[in-house]
């Protein structure tokens, strides 16, 4: 039987506010346990939550950027359950009236069986996005036979973004999650740090025979905190469900936990064991009421978003779709690119350097863009020399490596190392000489043996001791060999 997969994602993005959602405590990651827990975070008797207005701005930004409705009236509700790292015995969240609802995002992904090399596109619905507080952490190590509770994280603001069940492969799910990841970082509302857990997701996965309308029974896979894990966990879960059904079994509605070490999901609790959260509107908090003027003020604050930026890069800099997509995938890269380009380089060359050379070097050194030893200004200086003929592309690689190693700006490196491209009349003379000295090969080339061209290039580079600009050599050779 042929199977179809249906996936919906619930993404939790920690919001980068300075203080918690309902208390004045700081939200810095990694502080000593319980040093960022106030009376409110500890749920002392008699304390009350007070909403941090900044989270409303964050949620509204996300709503506008995701083509959603930003609700003029939203309500915080209590989700009741007992857990040691949930100090109040309930989590303040939103249930019936979330702040953001009914939006969508367009995603692009590599589709199986598509041969033209182009990416497939799809519109994924966003059911809702609501605000809630994070729980603390239970620490099971270091306390023999006991559990430690760290409430620093308790009350950290989260935006939970719930998609429609509209994705049909792990690849689509990853593309959607990357899209949201990029968006929240563009908006500056979340740092998206997946290692620290500030961006994580649960996936609702089900399968059904192709052509069937009703959804299959779903399992919720929790604890997905890297793009790689999401893809693996979903694929694994799809396989498990198909195997189960094909063996005559049935999928049960349950929550499963993904274990990245073993690459498997295992059951956490079934539907029957699920909590009845007894949601009801939190009487300690007033409904959040916002008006059009507020929404318009937020709209005015929105930065250029990834899709718009990408379209601009294509039209303004005449970049190809792939280059533009890669450059705009994160705001940092896009900003780096534009800053580098501002020095006067050539866009296509700049894109290539950022996407290929710089990305490769960073990847190799396991550094983030922010940690790059070559700043945008430094790369811009080099690109400028490339564009004005002060460097050959081969020399540029040497200059880049030197800048990477801390030898200073492009101009300083050029000066120090005495780098200078061979000038074109000189190259022309050398090429004339090579053509004159190799009539046999010239004949071969002219009779259609394209392969011989490489021979000429090699000769020319050898004669110029590698200092000639390969592109210039190529162009001159082509022109002269045509005869």
Residue recorded with tokens 């690109």: 383
Q: How far is the CB of 135 from another protein (least distance, A)?
A: 13
User: Is residue 287 part of the contact set for another protein (CB under 8 A)?
Assistant: no
| Residue 284 binds to another protein (criterion: CB under 8 A) | yes
* Secondary structure class of 104 (helix, strand, coil): strand
Please state, in angstroms and rounded to a whole number, the distance separating the CA atoms of residues 415 and 411: 6
> Among 45, 406, 418, 448, which residue interacts with another protein (rule: CB under 8 A)?
45
In the complex, what is the shortest distance from the CB of residue 231 to another protein, in angstroms, rounded to a whole number? 34
For position 145 contacting another protein by CB under 8 A, the verdict is no
Pick the stretch among 53-61, 246-254, 277-285, 375-383 that binds another protein (CB under 8 A): 277-285
Rg of the chain over Cα atoms, rounded to whole angstroms, equals 29
Residue 158 burial (10 A CB sphere; 0-12, 13-18, 19+):
buried
| Residue found by looking up tokens 């509209």 in the block | 166
Beta strand 254-259 pairing with 219-224? parallel
Tokens of 313: 């890069």
Residue 272 interacts with another protein (CB under 8 A)? no
Contacts of 296 (CB under 8 A, 6+ apart): none
Applying CB under 8 A, the span of 88-96, 257-265, 348-356, 366-374 interacting with another protein comes to 88-96
Which burial class, exposed, middle or buried, applies to 483 when counting CB atoms under 10 A from its CB (0-12, 13-18, 19+)?
Answer: exposed
Nearer to another protein, 42 or 183 (CB): 42
Question: Under the criterion CB under 8 A, does residue 80 sit at the interface with another protein?
Answer: yes
Nearer to another protein, 155 or 381 (CB): 155
The reply on whether position 43 binds another protein by CB under 8 A is yes
Check: CB of residue 358 under 8 Å from CB of residue 364: no
The tokens for 136 are: 């603390």
Structure token digits, residue 39: 């009376």
Report the alpha-carbon distance of residue 254 to residue 304 in Å, rounded: 41
Torsions phi, psi of 143, nearest 5?
-130, 95
Task: From 170-178, 262-270, 274-282, 374-382, give the range in contact with another protein by CB under 8 A.
Answer: 274-282
- Smaller CB separation from another protein, 268 or 285: 285
Q: What x-and-dash track marks residues 377-416 binding another protein by CB under 8 A?
A: ----------------------------------------
CB-count burial class (<10 Å; 0-12, 13-18, 19+) for 361: middle
Stretch that binds another protein, among 106-114, 280-288, 375-383, 444-452 (CB under 8 A): 280-288
Q: Which of 20, 88, 232, 236 binds another protein (CB under 8 A)?
A: 88
Taking residue 467's Cβ as centre, other Cβ atoms within 10 Å add up to 15
Residues 146-175 that bind another protein (CB under 8 A): 149
Smallest distance from another protein to CB 86, Å: 9
CB 236 within 8 A of CB 221: no
Q: Does 289 bind another protein (CB under 8 A)?
A: no
Q: Does 46 bind another protein (CB under 8 A)?
A: yes
- Considering the complex, what minimum distance in angstroms separates the CB of residue 277 from another protein? 8
Question: Could you give the string, one character per residue 93-122, with x where binding to another protein holds by CB under 8 A and - elsewhere?
Answer: ------------------------------
The residues, ordered by sequence, that sit 6+ positions from 45 with a Cβ below 8 Å of its Cβ are none
Q: Which segment (41-49, 322-330, 372-380, 472-480) binds another protein by CB under 8 A?
A: 41-49
| 3-state secondary structure at position 424 | helix
Stretch that binds another protein, among 117-125, 271-279, 294-302, 376-384 (CB under 8 A): 271-279
Question: With CB under 8 A as the contact rule, which of the stretches 172-180, 276-284, 294-302, 450-458 interacts with another protein?
Answer: 276-284
How many Å apart are CA 241 and CA 238, to the nearest integer?
5
Residue 240's nearest CA partner among 263, 212, 269 is 263
At residue 158, what are phi and psi to the nearest 5 degrees?
-125, 145
For the bound state, the minimum distance from the C-beta of residue 80 to another protein, rounded and expressed in Å, comes to 5
Rounded to the nearest whole angstrom, what is the least distance from the CB of residue 89 to another protein in the complex? 2
| Closest distance to another protein from the beta carbon of 189 (Å) | 23
Find the helix packing angle between 393-404 and 410-417, rounded to 10°: 110
Question: Which long-range CB contacts under 8 A does 359-363 form with residues at least 24 apart?
Answer: 361/400, 361/404
**Closest C-alpha to 269, from 221, 199, 216, 336:** 221
- Determine, following the binding rule CB under 8 A, whether residue 50 of this chain makes contact with another protein: yes
> Residue 285 interacts with another protein (CB under 8 A)?
yes
Count of residues binding another protein (CB under 8 A)? 28
**Per CB under 8 A, 90 contacts another protein:** yes
Contact 92, 285 (CB under 8 A): yes
Binding status of residue 42 toward another protein by CB under 8 A: yes
Near another protein by CB under 8 A: residue from 1, 2, 53, 82: 82
Complex with another protein: residue 284 or 428, whichever CB lies closer? 284
Binding site for another protein (CB under 8 A): 39, 42-51, 78, 80, 82, 84, 87-90, 149, 276, 278-280, 283-286
């Amino acid at each position: 039987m042929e199977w179809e997969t249906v996936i919906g994602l619930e993404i939790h993005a920690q919001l980068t506010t300075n203080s918690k959602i309902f208390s004045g405590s700081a939200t810095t990651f990694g502080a000593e346990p319980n040093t960022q827990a106030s009376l409110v975070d500890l749920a002392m008797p008699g304390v009350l939550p007070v909403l941090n207005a900044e989270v409303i701005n964050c949620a509204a930004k996300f709503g506008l950027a995701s083509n959603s409705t930003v609700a003029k009236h939203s309500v915080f509700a209590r989700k009741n359950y007992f857990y040691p790292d949930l100090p109040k015995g309930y989590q303040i969240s939103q249930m019936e009236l979330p702040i953001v609802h009914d939006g969508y995002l367009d995603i692009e992904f590599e589709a199986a069986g598509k041969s033209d090399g182009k990416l497939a596109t799809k519109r994924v619905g966003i059911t809702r996005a609501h605000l809630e507080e994070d729980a603390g952490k239970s620490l099971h190590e270091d306390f023999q036979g006991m559990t430690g509770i760290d409430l620093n994280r308790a009350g950290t603001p989260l935006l939970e973004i719930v998609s429609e069940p509209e994705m049909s492969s792990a690849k689509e799910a990853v593309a959607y999650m990357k899209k949201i990841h990029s968006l929240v970082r563009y908006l500056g509302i979340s740092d998206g740090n997946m290692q620290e857990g500030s961006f994580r997701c649960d996936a609702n996965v089900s399968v059904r025979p192709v052509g069937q309308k009703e959804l299959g029974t779903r399992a919720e896979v929790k604890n997905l905190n890297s793009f790689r894990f999401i893809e693996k966990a979903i694929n694994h879960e799809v396989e498990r469900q198909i195997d189960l059904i094909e063996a005559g079994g049935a999928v049960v509605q349950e929550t499963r936990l993904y274990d990245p070490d073993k690459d498997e999901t295992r059951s956490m609790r079934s539907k029957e064991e699920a909590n009845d959260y007894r949601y009801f509107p939190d009487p300690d908090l007033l409904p959040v009421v916002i008006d059009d003027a507020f929404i318009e003020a937020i709209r005015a604050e929105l930065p250029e978003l990834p899709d718009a930026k990408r379209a601009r890069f294509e039209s303004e800099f005449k970049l190809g779709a792939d280059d533009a997509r890669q450059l705009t995938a994160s705001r940092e890269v896009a900003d780096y690119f534009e800053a580098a380009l501002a020095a006067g380089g050539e866009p296509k060359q700049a894109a290539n350097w950022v996407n290929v050379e710089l990305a490769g070097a960073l990847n190799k050194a396991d550094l983030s863009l922010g940690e790059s030893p070559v700043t945008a200004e430094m790369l811009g200086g080099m690109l400028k020399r490339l564009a004005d003929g002060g460097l050959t592309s081969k020399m540029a690689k040497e200059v880049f490596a030197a800048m990477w190693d801390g030898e200073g700006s492009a101009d300083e490196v050029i000066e120090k190392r005495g780098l200078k491209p061979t000038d074109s009349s000189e190259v022309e003379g050398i090429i004339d000489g090579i053509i004159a000295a190799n009539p046999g090969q010239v004949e071969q080339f002219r009779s259609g043996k394209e392969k011989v061209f490489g021979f000429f290039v090699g000769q020319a580079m050898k004669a110029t001791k590698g200092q000639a600009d390969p592109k210039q050599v190529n162009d001159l050779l082509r022109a002269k060999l045509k005869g």
